[in-house]
Structure 1
Amino acid sequence: MNWPSHGSNPQHLFKSMGLSLPDKYIDFSANINPIGPPSVLKEKWNDFYQEINVYPDPFAEQLKSRIVESEQISDDSILIGNGGAELITLVARFLTGKKVIVVEPTFSEYEKACRANHCEIQYHQLKEPNFALSMDELHPKLPSADALFLCNPNNPTGIQYSVSTILSIIEECEKQNCFVILDEAFYDFLIDYHSFIPYINRFSNLIIIRSMTKMFAIPGLRLGYAAAPPNIIAELSTLQPHWSINTIALLAGDLCLQNKKFIKQTQVYIWEERERLLTFFMKKHFVITPSQVNFYLLRDPCLKNQFSFFEFLLHKGIIPRHTFNFPGLEGNWLRFAIKSKEENSKLMEVLLEWRQLH
């Protein structure tokens, strides 16, 4: 079956399964902020309209200044991009023809972009159910690699790796002349995340990718940034199309980054809802990953293959993210985003119905 490669756009999933999209459904497959965009964007939307006849700043100086102020790094260490996806594509072009390790399970776009640029891909597969990342197991693969992709917190498991583990990987990779591409797309959903951006001043091989579409629920605008040593940023920028980021995205991003209260509100909400869901899952004997962000993997341990469970949920208007295109998962888990309290309660209601039947 030709499974969709991303969450969201559920019409493509239902089409691939030969089903009709129901009139009412809840899409748990897209892991963006359930609170929605900051209200200031709606308040300023008419002001944005006044700017659509103006070419965007190709250097994104205003937004870049906001990030520089927040992260305490130089402006030549930042590259603004059209979402994390564009930045991943730019990094893959930077690595054209190189040997790349992808720590799995993870976001499929790393492999897709690297293969499009003729990279040689090697998996480093983490083992369920805890998906622990061990430097001892990874170490033997590094001498033959030019780059390593690592997502922290991980998508799709939601697991955050320890600071000591990641630092040991970066240090060893630097000794082996191997770049580390650290995707921090979901870092701001964590209350106490240890940022690795300061380490770009210490390590010459570190490239960090951040998305702004997840926390601020603006996937339709597309916005993100990369942080890396200036020489790497300079090379990545030569690969980026001109006018890559539109004016409205730049203005919206600047407003979003000023909204610290919104970020804290989101973090607290996600923590509370995740705890409520976890209590229910444990009580009803579902297995989930030890996620610390706004999504998690779940499975029914009574089933080896989760397809019948997946199909049941779709018929009930509950749309999780399938895992058929995550190497090492092969459909044996389902990924759910944390949604509104009402929507999460509906999920629990449907799971209770499933449990009563099985």
Structure 2
Amino acid sequence: MSWPSHGSNPQYLYKAMGLALPKEFIDFSANINPLGPPPSLKEKWVDFFREIHVYPDPFAIKLTNMISKAEQTERDTILIGNGGAELITLLGRMLARKRVLLVEPTFSEYEEVCRVNQCEIVYHQLIEPDFTLNLSDLRSSLVDVDALFLCNPNNPTGIHYPPSTMISIIEECEKRDCLVILDEAFFDFLIEYESVVPYINKFSNLIIIRSLTKMFAIPGIRLGYLVAQPAIVSELSKLQSHWSTNTIALLAGELCLQNEAFIKETQEYIDCERKRLFSFFYHNNYIASSSDVNFYLLQDPHLQDQFTLFEFLLHQGIIPRHTFNFPGLDGRWLRFAIKGHEENNQLMEVLAKWRNQHSSS
């Protein structure tokens, strides 16, 4: 079966399953802020419209300055992109025909981009259900590797690895002349986050990717940025198409970065809903990954793979993210976003229904 490679766009998933898309459904497959975009974005939308006749700033000076100030890093260490996906694509071009290590399970886009650019791909597999990451296990996989992709907090597990772990890996990779590409697309969902951006000045091999589409619920706009030493930013910018980030995205980004209260509200909301969901999972004999953010892996331990549960959920209008294209997971888990209170209630009702029907399995 040809599975969709990403969450969202559920019509393609139902088509792959040979099912009709129900009139009413809840899409748990996309990890977007359940509170939606900041209200200020809607308030300013008409103002944005007035700017669409103007070409976007190809250097994104205003947004770059805002990020530079917020992250306390120099402007020439920042590259604005048309979502994290474009930045990953640029990195793939820079790494063409190089040897790349992926720590699995992880975001499928890394492998897709590397394959397109004829990279040699090697894997380091984290062991479920804890998905522990440490340097002693990773060290043997780093032999003759040109670049390492790390996702932290990790997609699809939602697990956040501490800065001490990241620094030890970056130091080891520096000794081996190996780039570390650290994808922090979900960092702003962490209540207590210790930034590794300051280490850009210390390590020439560190590249950090950030997304603004997840926290601010603007995936239709596409906006992200990268932080690295100026030489790397300069090299990547030469691979980027002119005006790759549109005017609306730049204006939205400038506005979103001023919404600190919105970020805090989101973090607290997600934390409350996650605790409520995980309590339900525990009491109904489901296993969930130790997520710290707005999504998690889930499995019914009575099943060897989760396909029958997956199919049951789709019939109920509950759409999780399959894991058939996450190496090492191979369908043994399902990924769910944390949605709004009532939507999470409906998920728990359907999972309770499944458990009642299969309690003796």
For Structure 1 versus Structure 2, the TM-score category normalised by the shorter chain is over 0.9
The one-letter code matched in structure 2 to 1:132 is: T
Structure 2 gap segments, 5+ residues each: none
The one-letter code matched in structure 2 to 1:124 is: H
- Helix, strand or coil at the partner of 1:167: helix
Residue aligning to 1:6: 6
The one-letter code matched in structure 1 to 2:120 is: E
Residue aligning to 2:123: 123
Asked if the contact 2:123–2:141 (Cα under 8 Å) also holds between the matched residues in 1, the reply is no
Distance in 2 between residues matched to 1:41 and 1:341, nearest whole Å? 23
Distance in 1 between residues matched to 2:129 and 2:75, nearest whole Å? 41
Residue aligning to 1:69: 69
Residue aligning to 1:269: 269
| Pairs within 5 Å for 1:75-224 | 75-224=75-224
Query: CA deviation digits over 1:245-281, x for unaligned, max 9?
Result: 0000000000000110000000000000000001000
Distance in 1 between residues matched to 2:306 and 2:118, nearest whole Å? 34
Query: CA deviation digits over 1:33-89, x for unaligned, max 9?
Result: 000000011000000010000000000001001100100000000000000000000
Distance in 2 between residues matched to 1:260 and 1:49, nearest whole Å? 24
- Helix, strand or coil at the partner of 1:258: coil
The one-letter code matched in structure 2 to 1:141 is: S
Percent of aligned pairs with the same residue?
68
1:141 deviation in Å? 2.1
| Pairs within 5 Å for 1:244-255 | 244-255=244-255
TM-score by length of 2: 0.99
1:127 deviation in Å? 0.4
The one-letter code matched in structure 2 to 1:240 is: Q
- Helix, strand or coil at the partner of 1:144: coil
- Helix, strand or coil at the partner of 1:32: coil
Residue aligning to 1:260: 260
The one-letter code matched in structure 1 to 2:144 is: S
The one-letter code matched in structure 2 to 1:9 is: N
The one-letter code matched in structure 2 to 1:120 is: E
Distance in 2 between residues matched to 1:7 and 1:180, nearest whole Å? 26
1:308 deviation in Å? 0.3
1:307 deviation in Å? 0.3
1:134 deviation in Å? 1.9
Query: CA deviation digits over 1:227-247, x for unaligned, max 9?
Result: 000000000000000010000
Distance in 1 between residues matched to 2:214 and 2:197, nearest whole Å? 19
Distance in 2 between residues matched to 1:181 and 1:159, nearest whole Å? 17
- Helix, strand or coil at the partner of 2:280: helix
1:116 deviation in Å? 0.6
- Helix, strand or coil at the partner of 2:143: helix
1:143 deviation in Å? 2.8
The one-letter code matched in structure 1 to 2:248 is: I
- Helix, strand or coil at the partner of 1:330: coil
Distance in 2 between residues matched to 1:195 and 1:330, nearest whole Å? 32
Distance in 2 between residues matched to 1:220 and 1:118, nearest whole Å? 29
| Pairs within 5 Å for 1:318-333 | 318-333=318-333
The one-letter code matched in structure 2 to 1:2 is: S
The one-letter code matched in structure 1 to 2:271 is: W
Residue aligning to 1:341: 341
Distance in 1 between residues matched to 2:285 and 2:296, nearest whole Å? 15
Distance in 1 between residues matched to 2:42 and 2:347, nearest whole Å? 29
Distance in 2 between residues matched to 1:70 and 1:34, nearest whole Å? 25
Distance in 1 between residues matched to 2:64 and 2:162, nearest whole Å? 29
Distance in 2 between residues matched to 1:52 and 1:280, nearest whole Å? 47
1:27 aligns with 2:24: no
1:281 aligns with 2:298: no
Task: Please give the root-mean-square deviation of Cα atoms over the aligned residues, in Å.
Answer: 0.5
Query: CA deviation digits over 1:176-199, x for unaligned, max 9?
Result: 000000000000000111111111
Aligned length: 358
Structure 1 gap segments, 5+ residues each: none
1:163 deviation in Å? 1.5
Distance in 1 between residues matched to 2:226 and 2:125, nearest whole Å? 25
Distance in 2 between residues matched to 1:302 and 1:137, nearest whole Å? 30
Residue aligning to 2:238: 238
Distance in 1 between residues matched to 2:73 and 2:164, nearest whole Å? 22
Distance in 1 between residues matched to 2:322 and 2:143, nearest whole Å? 34
Distance in 1 between residues matched to 2:175 and 2:215, nearest whole Å? 34
The one-letter code matched in structure 2 to 1:357 is: Q
1:285 deviation in Å? 0.4
Distance in 2 between residues matched to 1:102 and 1:73, nearest whole Å? 28
Distance in 2 between residues matched to 1:270 and 1:162, nearest whole Å? 20
Distance in 2 between residues matched to 1:234 and 1:270, nearest whole Å? 37
The one-letter code matched in structure 1 to 2:126 is: L
The one-letter code matched in structure 1 to 2:100 is: V
The one-letter code matched in structure 2 to 1:233 is: V
1:164 deviation in Å? 1.2
- Helix, strand or coil at the partner of 2:328: coil
